[in-house]
A and B are shown apart, each in its own frame.
Chain A
Amino acid sequence: MSPIGLRKQLISLVLVGPLLLFLIFFFAFPLVTMMKSAVSDPVAARALPATARAVASWDRVSPPTDAIMAAFVTDIRQINDDQLFGDLVRRLNSAKSGFRTLMTKTRTTLSEGTGSIDLIAVDKRWGDPSYWQAVSVAASSTITDRNLLAAVDLQRDTSNAITALPADASANRAIMLRTFVMALTVTVACVLIGLPFAMIAASVDGWKRQLLLGAVLLPLWTSLLVRTAAWFILLQDTGLINSVLMQLGVTSGPVPLIFNRAGVIIAMTHVLLPFMVLPIFSVLIGIPKNLMPAAASLGAHPVRAFLNVLLPLTLRGVVSGSLLVFMSALGYYITPALIGGAKDQMISSVIAYYATGAANWGMAGALGLVLLAATMILYAIYLRLSSEREVRP
């Protein structure tokens, strides 16, 4: 490379430096933190250091040795921090239910004396190796695949093999499927409305085109919250849509449109439609105007000319638009949260619940990782498609 080229490169790097550092620290680093929280599991190892050393030589099948029990007693007596004890109980209870009562009872008994104590006499559950397996798994490692497995409704059983969670224990797969189906429905609705609309907009000109494009751009520029509020007001039982329907005598009582699937799909289609129309439109205006007359002059019926000439050329725009809409719809939070009912919540709502409601950062991180991965794959495909278009003359 020439010295001038090198110098230019250097100046460019200096210029992009501040923003790059800003985004590494405040964009990439939070995402890494979230991913780490999905696999990190330090509580038990920190609360039970002696137990962690003692279980290292245990085969996890035979009954627990006296040394393990003694180490456990020592560790429990040493926990002064109630917060840490609470975290430990929550961690153990999530591996095997029953720990909540067991640990509270054990701690109370242990705090009454100082000498060695028979744990099995405190509670006979301590004679069951499966409880010790849970303690051992939790204490011996600071990372875990538990959350990632639970995010797709899997778990490790006592023999450490991966099995399905019981049907009542988790619904994550059902929520992912629901998210996928809802995003797909919105995408299909956007194609069905957006494709003909973009074709009409491309076929007219002057003020008509301005009007059609303006109708797409105005909602795009309007606050998402305002659009959602507007739909909330329109869709409610006493809202404009229902009062018009009842005035016209179409229905005697209000049609339920809010807090259900139909309302969410309608509002999301409205919000995401511009992302479908604009890519298709930009492909369409690049297509030479004389293609259709050419096909007609060669004897093609208008329908055939449309199917064989215009539609294949438009397809690239449809694919770009669909990817954009589907990708945005997957991560939607506000619209389902405000317009949907409990059965219309998508994966984002579940992540938000784990993070802000249940303070279960591990599960929030694991589900976030799934959503992030899905979005990034779709975005990579989208980038690939749009860069191919740029390269073509």
Chain B
Amino acid sequence: MNVLRFSKLVFGSATVFFLIAPLIAILPLAFTDSVFLNYPIPGYSTRWFEELFTASVWQRSIVNSLIIGCGTTLLATVLGTVGALGLRDRQLSLVLTTVKTIFLLPMVVPAVVLGVGMQLMFARYGLTNTYLGVIIAHTVVAVPFVVVNVLAVLQGIDRRLEQAAASLGAAPVTVLKQVTLPLALPGIVSGAVFAFATSLDEVVLTLFVAGPNQRTLARQMFSTIRENISPAIAAAAFVFIVGTVLIAVVLNLSRRTMAAKI
């Protein structure tokens, strides 16, 4: 049995290393003072962070990402939450089951296929090279995450709470506002976070739909890696990874406090 335990330990550690090491290895490179992304790092400086936050291309792309990310989060969260409210029954009719499948489909369709279609159609309605067009494109792929997250929380809500509120004379809108939505808040929040993260990371649809004025951070990283790789990439990656860990911690904490309240 010792051989089994030993091989489990080795295999488990090796896989954890494979999964995590690349993400950790990129972090120190953000602080290099050289123009190359190599180890050993000759000296440390914050010049690439300065580049990231002061060079106009990067600055512009960060602002664009924030505009498009916020627009996408707003649109996807509203549409997705309302849609999820319509799908909350455990026993769905055939029509609603089909609707649910359609709601999740944008997660599955290959991004390039959707991108080609969007470029063709958006051009016809003057939506290419506009912020609105990019926000719409990102919302299409972000909305399934909102639906899934909100639905998961809604299905865990004890329906008797709402029935109690209604039997005490609350109007349906009041029940929704005072009971259902507050209870669903953790799901709505994590859906919104996922929507923002999806928009932040989206490259392919942006390539097809956005013009040079809507170049996002992810799009800028894509062309930097492709054309002239620079340590600014490592600095951007550092910001992304630290942001991810922070969001994960915040989400976990908010879920725990919410769970404790309920």
Contact = CB atoms under 8 A, between A and B. Distances in A.
Bound together: yes
B143 A19 contact: yes
A15 B86 contact: yes
A249 to B, nearest CB: 17
B23 A226 contact: yes
Interface string B82-112: 1101110100010110010111011011111
Taking residues whose C-beta sits less than 8 angstroms from the other chain, chain A's interface range is 35 or more
A226 B26 contact: yes
A12 B137 CA distance: 25
A130 interface: no
B44 interface: no
Contact of A15 (B82, B109, B139): B82
B210 to A, nearest CB: 12
Contacts of A365: 116
Contact of B203 (A212, A225, A331, A355): A225
Determine chain B's interface SS by DSSP, over half rule. helix
A78 interface: no
Contact of B225 (A13, A197, A229): A229
Interface string A199-221: 01101000000011001111101
Contact of B19 (A216, A234, A372): A216
Interface residues of B, number: 80
B200 A223 contact: yes
A31 B244 CA distance: 32
Interface in A163-217: 193, 196-197, 200-201, 203, 211-212, 215-217
Interface of B: 4, 8, 11-12, 15-16, 18-20, 22-23, 25-26, 29, 36-39, 79-80, 82-83, 85-87, 89, 93, 95-96, 99, 101-103, 105-106, 108-122, 124, 136-137, 139-140, 143, 147, 197, 200-201, 203-204, 207-208, 218, 221-222, 225-226, 229, 233-234, 236-237, 240-241, 244-245, 247-248
Interface of A: 8-9, 11-20, 22-23, 26-34, 37, 193, 196-197, 200-201, 203, 211-212, 215-219, 221-234, 236, 238-240, 243, 270, 273, 302, 327, 330-331, 333-334, 337-338, 348, 351-352, 355-356, 361, 364-365, 368, 371-372, 375-376, 379, 383
